[in-house]
Amino acid sequence: MAQTAHSFETLISKTDRLDYWLALPDDYEEKSDQLFPLMLFLHGIGERSDAPAGIEAVKVHGPPKRIASGHPLPFIVVSPQCPAENWWSSHVTALMRLLDHITATYRVDTQRVYLTGLSMGGFGTWHLAYLYPERFAAAAPVCGGLAWFVGLEKAAQRMKHLPIWAFHGAKDATVPIGESQRVIEALKAAGGNVKFTVYRNLGHDSWTKTYANPKLYEWFLQHRLSSRK
């Protein structure tokens, strides 16, 4: 039986919906002539849209939790919810279009757009940083890693000018610390602008301590796209 090679091409379009929380700084209305930094936060696997709490689940960790508990942040904070049974890497286009929408709708300082996320969102943070390093002024992945199908050397070259501060618990049994370490090592070898905080006595929950640390937010605000070398 003979085999012949063929190609098939078709256009498939679909609607990709992302529900999200939006928090504006307390002085957003008062300072009507001012642009504000933007933070995109990507949650973990347990907060996807099949969570019993619905979109409220996004508030259980990270910046949305701080804001909900009465600790405002000096950023426009966008916290989308990943659809059920999906990964952030499946919604890259929707995430970037959401950023475009927020930037067009609100007074966003496009020189100060920041990216962060935890666990599954930590993987999403690394992934977006790899794909769009020119869109973000700084990124902070927490207990994440870079997907296996992304070449480390290529990724490191693309991200080496993006300031990155990564966090991981040394005793993490869910996402082993090696997931962060291998990306950090590749970035250092490429001359990347990277910091790495290891919590020696923490397991998977390295996010509570990270997002409670005011120095993280101070670090973000030190970075602008125009200040890169």
Cα-based torsion angle of the residue sequence 87, 130, 66, 21 in order, rounded to the nearest 10 degrees: -60
Look at residue 71 and tell me if it is in a domain.
Answer: yes
Q: What is the CATH number of the domain that holds 162?
A: 3.40.50.1820
In the chain, the number of structural domains is: 1
pTM, rounded to two decimals: 0.93
pLDDT at 168 over 80: yes
pLDDT at 160 over 80: yes
Look at residue 15 and tell me if it is in a domain.
Answer: no
CA gap 64, 178 in Å, rounded: 28
Task: Find the domain containing 63 and state its range.
Answer: 20-227
Q: Which band of pLDDT confidence, cut at 50, 70 and 90, is reported for residue 149?
A: confident
Instruction: Select the more confidently predicted residue: 11 or 132.
Output: 132
Residue 199: per-residue pLDDT: 97
Residue 147 amino acid letter: A
pLDDT at 106 over 90: yes
Average pLDDT, the chain: 93
Look at residue 146 and tell me if it is in a domain.
Answer: yes
